[in-house]
Structure 1
Amino acid sequence: VQGLLSYESEKSAAGLFMEKEDAKKSAQQCREILTKEALSSGTHFLQTTFSSRLASLLQKGLLTAKRQSQYEAQNQSLLSKSVLPAWQSLADGLEQLSDTGRTRGGLSQKPDGRQYYAWLVKESTGSSLSMDQLYLLLQKQFQKTYKEMKQTLTTYQELTGGTPDLAPVNDGFPLSDPTAILEDLQNRMQQDFPALADLTAQTVQCDIQDVDAGLEAYSSPAFYMIPPIDALMQNTIRINRSSTADGIELYTTLAHEGYPGHLYQTVYSSLVCDTQTLPIRKLFSYGGYVEGWAYYTERISYEYAAQVLAEAEGSLGSSYPAALLCTLLAQQRDLQINLFCLLDLSLHYYGAEESELLRSLESFGLSEEQSERVYDYLRTAPAVYLKYYVGYLEMNALKKRAELQWSDNFSLLRFHRFVLEAGPSDFENLTKRLKQTAAKTG
């Protein structure tokens, strides 16, 4: 904690400390995430999750009941005497520095902020495009997707004579159990994605649980937890039920986090890395590749969702409107994330004002409160959305290059195997690697 406070103090002295309201919110979170009352009741997630893991070890015969009690007592002591005071000290320190924040806008308002942002975007996306090139790419993609979405709406209206009703793909979606959804996704991806069984005879396990209620306010809608290096087959996905709805949203979210998204890519690339590439590559971070792949596969899962609906209704003809709704939902999500990326660049690189961004968000259909929340997220987490969406666009561009290079020998299976076996990388090097491949069947 003292090291973190020293770092924040140096930022303050350099005129780079967070805005006053941000500091107050951070201090409030420090005070709320762990309290004496929660520790006294024994209901805090740092107690309950620790106890549940110990119970699992006890059940497997790896721990005695006496040891379990000792460890729980030790955990309680550490939380009360070390962790709680540390959080309180951090909150106090942030509050003391809160008046030193000088700017509220984006990085463009800070010394050398634009240059830092350009580096941050390149580092997080793995793209070699300049800021101007990225902005133009996003604009063109936005216009393309918007045009496609209008055509989808027109087709739906011509087919049904009415406006889209999203109930069939949300409330009426046939699959709701997370385990059943992952099984369905694994079955549907077989044709276009290489099997993990080609690399290992071991069974990949996945523990799916809801995020603890005490963490919901601070957690993403869902997240995949990378397994320990010596337990690659033991995977974990957590679902935040406060921000992830059932229906197609849960289905596509689990595609993003599980199959054919993060879990599948992590296990596959790790197995290949262990046998074919240098292990040192595991030390590097390639956010654009990892999140770009996850969003790329999430978009594919909307097609899988349409198949689920078709099979539930018994015939493709009767489910055609539902398939269009799946397409419409995918296009809406695409436009939203694209818009957030454009606004991220506008704020942190081009120096747009808060009022400009809020007008853009509200014109997109967001309420005033929603727009302010999105603006605050963009302001405090620069380049995060670009990691997902620019990574996705680069992945699509790589696929198009593969189609041109491989011609009749192209297949999705071959392309996906190429990306997975290459492993996490920046897109410039992925493109070089693609050029080196021979035009042979996958």
Structure 2
Amino acid sequence: MTNKFLTLSRRILSIFLSVALLSACTAPPNAPATPSSAGYERYRADDLTMQKEFNLFTDDLFREEISNSGISFHFTIADPASRGFDTVPLTLGDFSLDKMKNNFKDLMELKKKLTRFNPRKLTSDQRLTYQILYSYIDTELTSEGLELYSQPLTSTIGIQAQLPVLFAEYAFYSREDVDHYLSLLSTIDDYYAQIMEFEKKKSEAGLFMSDSAADHVLKSCEAYLIQPDHNFLAETFNSRIDALNDLTADEKAAYKEKNLKVLEEHFVPAYKNLIDGITALMGTGKNDKGLYWYPDGKEYFEYLVNSNTGTSYKSITSLKKAIEKQMNSDIKALGQITKEHPQTLDQLETYTFRYTKPEEILESLKTQITADFPELPPCNYTVKYVPEALESSLSPAFYLVPPLDRYEENTIYINGNPRFQNDDLYTTLAHEGYPGHLYQNVYFLSKKPSDIRSILSFSSYSEGWATYVEFYSYSLDNGLDPELGKLLAHNTAVTLGIYAYLDICINYEGWDKEQTGKYLSNFYKVENTDIVDTIYSSLVENPTNYMEYYVGYLEIMEMRNTAEKILKDQFNLKAFHTFLLDIGPAPFSVIQPEFRNWLAKELRNG
């Protein structure tokens, strides 16, 4: 499998207020839907043997995968010894074209090993893991030959923007963690050199980013050219060192000096070299439009949609129609609200939420969601603010997924940049905290799933859930006029839907900036060319980023609407939410059959 950095949660920025892809994975052989009629499962001796072998298979896979990157390893397991690890990988990984090509050979071998198991002999949880792994492998194999279309460097979600934040949050549980941290940080210049070699190959193939996109990445890199003693990585390092009890004052001072030296000799040069490398390649990227305009761009977009959304739709055309349908539903609801409650329009510029401080908001959300969501085990959270030097290059807010053996400890970052001051912090923290990312991750990890499932990234499930509950939070007792809350929720959904819709139009159908501007002007009265430019460049530089959010929201809403329609008075919102949370991160092509089983069970029980 491709080694991926831990994904930081991202939120969209609503710029204005108005108002599957070619083939989902084929079903694996001998993989029936999970039985839903029996209240228990019965197995023969050979079944139990296969179940044990499957656990060994997934455990070995987990150990192999997290050993590819020291950052991923540390953010996945806080106590390596508890999982039988006696060594820690001191590398950021191998980001090379050869490695990517070899990954496909590994995936084919992994698929062979997986299909040796008969899903009928596995437990229901193992069967689900089997389906998820099979879908994941099949999807990733469709990108073979398209390796150079990968985009490791983008303005706010690229490796160069995310990696320093992960270093800033690298927890020090012991002296050994400090040594591992400094070793990893010392390799950042070599790692970025690998990325630049990859970018040179992209350039040679005519696939390098446009000058506009390069300018955005350069600005992101410049934010890290900070003198070591004023670098946020020095500040965060010092505070983590000071909190360790097993170091003397002299040892702490020595570590602080060593960190400054690493920042000076490796970290800052790494960003200088990135800047020099990107600058040297500027002018070689000839395409300033969407993926459609590259030789295999449409094919790569199909892969991205499948990989990043896991949609249950069989083609991009059918997915686009579903997006239009959901958008029309939200637009219709907007019209109904403004017609029946015209006063809500007068409140758009003056409304405020009852709570404005992060801790007050999170505690209010935690209390209010108990009626519609299952109970969480005890956990805690820390709210932090993005370092000022990074405010211009990072998202409005994000959540860091905790190690699977310390899921009780959670961190949410808020970006204090003035350009985000109009974002509603209440709904932002519903997205990042309760009942969003924090809640979903704590719930899932507290169920002690197979370790392999904790590292398989299905961002559309995670972001779709967080987006869905963000919209849900507008309906809570939050200080808003209830009708205004509904209006804001539907409007935000439409805004995000426009991004998802245009993503397809630009990257799959080849729309240029002029066509995009006409669409926004004709349908949403957006005449500001700066807004059009911002939307267009964002979708060109980050294909399917917004679709991860919207398609996940769309799939969840479709399941909920179906359940409400079929179950009628039997529908229970908490039961529906519990079903989605119990399934955990997975492609929607895998979730949908499980949903149908759940629905049938609810009907029988009613």
State the TM-score, normalized to the length of structure 2: 0.64
- Alpha-carbon displacement from aligned partner over 1:215-254 (angstroms, at most 9, x marks no partner): 11111110000112221111000001214437x8100000
Q: Which of these residues, 494, 508, 531, is aligned with residue 349 of structure 1?
A: 508
Indicate the SS of the match to 1:196.
Answer: coil
The match for 1:135 is 320
- How far apart are the structure 2 equivalents of 1:24 and 1:177? 35
**Aligned AA (2:540):** R
- Distance (whole Å) between structure 2 residues aligned to residue 234 and residue 441 of structure 1: 37
2:236 pairs with 49, 56, 60, which one? 49
Q: 1:236 matched to which residue of 2? A: 411
Distance in 1 between residues matched to 2:456 and 2:295, nearest whole Å: 28
Tell whether 2:576 aligns with 1:415: yes
Choose the corresponding residue for 1:308, options 478, 486, 507.
478
1:180 aligned partner, one-letter code: E
Asked whether the 8 Å contact 2:362–2:434 carries over to 1, the reply is yes
Inter-partner Cα distance in structure 2 for 1:230 and 1:394: 30
**Which residue of the other structure, out of 223, 229, 245, is the alignment partner of 2:421?**
245
State the match for 1:150 in structure 2.
Answer: 335
**Cα distance in 2 between the residues matched to 1:88 and 1:27:** 10
Please identify which structure carries the higher helix content. 1
**Gap change, CA 1:49 and 1:367, over 3 Å in 2:** farther
Match of 1:68 among 252, 274, 294: 252
Q: Which moved more, 1:75-84 or 1:392-401?
A: 392-401
- Give the number of equivalent residue pairs: 408
Matched, 1:287 2:465: no
1:192 maps to which residue?
Answer: 372
Tell me the residue number matched to 1:215.
390
User: What are the Cα deviations for residues 297-345 of structure 1, in whole angstroms up to 9, with x where unaligned?
Assistant: 00110001xx2327xxxxxxxxxxx222222211221111111111111
Give the stretch that moved more between structures: 45-54 or 419-428: 45-54
Provide the C-alpha distance between the structure 2 equivalents of 1:228 and 1:163, rounded to a whole number of angstroms: 44
User: Paired residue for 2:123?
Assistant: none
User: How far apart, in 2, do the equivalents of 1:340 and 1:101 lie?
Assistant: 24
2:579 aligned partner, one-letter code: F
Letter in 2 for 1:116: Y
Q: CA deviation at 1:209?
A: 1.4
The alpha carbon displacement at 1:406 in A equals 4.8
Q: For 1:358-395, what per-residue CA distance to the aligned partner results, in whole angstroms no more than 9, with x for missing partners?
A: 33345443632222122111110000111101110101
User: Do 1:222 and 1:244's aligned partners in 2 also have CA atoms closer than 8 Å?
Assistant: no
> For residue 65 of structure 1, what is the amino acid of its counterpart?
A
1:213 Cα offset (Å): 0.6
**Paired AA for residue 330 in structure 2:** T
Match of 1:165 in 2: 347
Query: CA offsets, 1:151-198, max 9 Å, x none?
Result: 2112222xx4x842235533xx2211111111110111001100013x
The answer to whether residue 365 in structure 2 is matched with residue 206 in structure 1 is no
Whole-angstrom distance in 2 between the partners of 1:163 and 1:29: 38
Change over 3 Å in CA distance of 1:215–1:28 after alignment to 2: closer
Asked if 1 retains the 8 angstrom alpha-carbon contact of 2:386 and 2:413, the reply is yes
1:28 deviates by 4.0
CA-atom RMSD in angstroms? 2.0
Map of 1:398 onto structure 2? 559
Q: After TM superposition, give the deviation of residue 282 of structure 1 in Å.
A: 2.1
**Equivalent residues in 2 for 1:62-101, closer than 5 Å:** 62-101=246-285
Cα deviation for residue 116 of structure 1 reads: 0.9
- More off after superposition, 323-332 vs 176-185: 323-332
Q: Which amino acid aligns with 1:287?
A: S
**Partner Cα distance (2:594, 2:459) in 1:** 19
**Pair 1:14–1:240, CA change in 2 (3 A):** same
Contact 1:169 1:326 in 2 (8 A): no
Shift of 1:292: 0.6
Alpha-carbon distance between aligned partners in 1 of 2:530 and 2:350, rounded to the nearest angstrom: 28
Tell me the amino acid that sits aligned with residue 259 of structure 2: N
Given that 1:244 and 1:250 are in contact with CA atoms closer than 8 Å, whether structure 2 keeps it comes out as no
Aligned to 1:200: none
- Give the alignment partner of residue 224 of structure 1, picking from 388, 394, 399: 399
State whether structure 2 residue 529 is matched by structure 1 residue 368. yes
1:176 aligns to what?
356
User: Partners in 2 of 1:5 and 1:67 — Cα distance?
Assistant: 36
Deviation at 1:405, TM superposition (A): 5.6
SS of residue paired to 1:428:
helix
Q: What are the superposed Cα offsets for residues 39-78 of structure 1, whole Å, 9 maximum, x if unpaired?
A: 3xx3321111222222333xxx344322221121111000
Gaps of 5+ in 2: 1-191
Spell out, residue by residue over 1:60-119, the C-alpha distance to the aligned partner (whole angstroms, 9 max, x if none): x34432222112111100010111111111111111111211211000000111111011
**CA distance, structure 1, for counterparts of residue 364 and residue 547 of structure 2:** 30
In 1, Cα distance between equivalents of 2:246 and 2:483: 52
Letter in 2 for 1:341: A
Do the aligned residues in 2 keep the contact of 1:28 with 1:91 (CA within 8 Å)?
Answer: no
Specify which of 103, 107, 116 is matched with residue 291 of structure 2: 107
Which stretch shifts more, 143-152 or 419-428? Answer: 143-152
Point out where structure 1 has 5 or more consecutive residues left out of the alignment: 198-202, 311-321
Question: Equivalents in 2 of 1:225, 1:178: separation in Å?
Answer: 16
CA deviations over 1:386-425 (Å, ceiling 9, x no partner): 1101110101112233345655543011111111111111
Equivalent-residue separation in structure 2 for 1:55 and 1:423 (angstroms)? 37
Does residue 435 in structure 1 map to residue 605 in structure 2?
no
Over the matched positions of the two proteins, sequence identity in percent amounts to 34
Q: Deviations over 1:243-302 (max 9, x none)?
A: 4437x8100000000000000000101122x1xx43322231111111110001001100
Instruction: Name the structure 2 match of 1:116.
Output: 300
Between 133-142 and 387-396, the greater mean CA deviation after superposition: 133-142
Provide closer, same or farther for how the CA distance between residues 406 and 270 of structure 1 changes in structure 2, counting only shifts above 3 A. Answer: farther
Q: Distance in 1 between matches of 2:589 and 2:561?
A: 14
Flag the 1:25–1:72 CA change in 2: closer, same or farther, 3 A: same
- Going from structure 1 to structure 2, the CA distance change for 1:155 and 1:195 (only over 3 Å counts) comes to same
Q: Of residues 474, 493, 498 in structure 2, which corresponds to 1:334?
A: 493
2:304 and 2:544 in contact (8 A); partners too: yes
From the superposition, tell whether residues 296 and 441 of structure 1 become closer, same or farther in structure 2 (CA, over 3 Å): farther
Which amino acid in 2 is paired with 1:19? S
Q: How far apart, CA to CA, are the structure 2 residues paired with 1:346 and 1:110? A: 15
Alpha-carbon distance in structure 2 between the residues aligned to 1:77 and 1:369: 43
Work out the CA distance in 2 between the residues paired with 1:63 and 1:327.
54
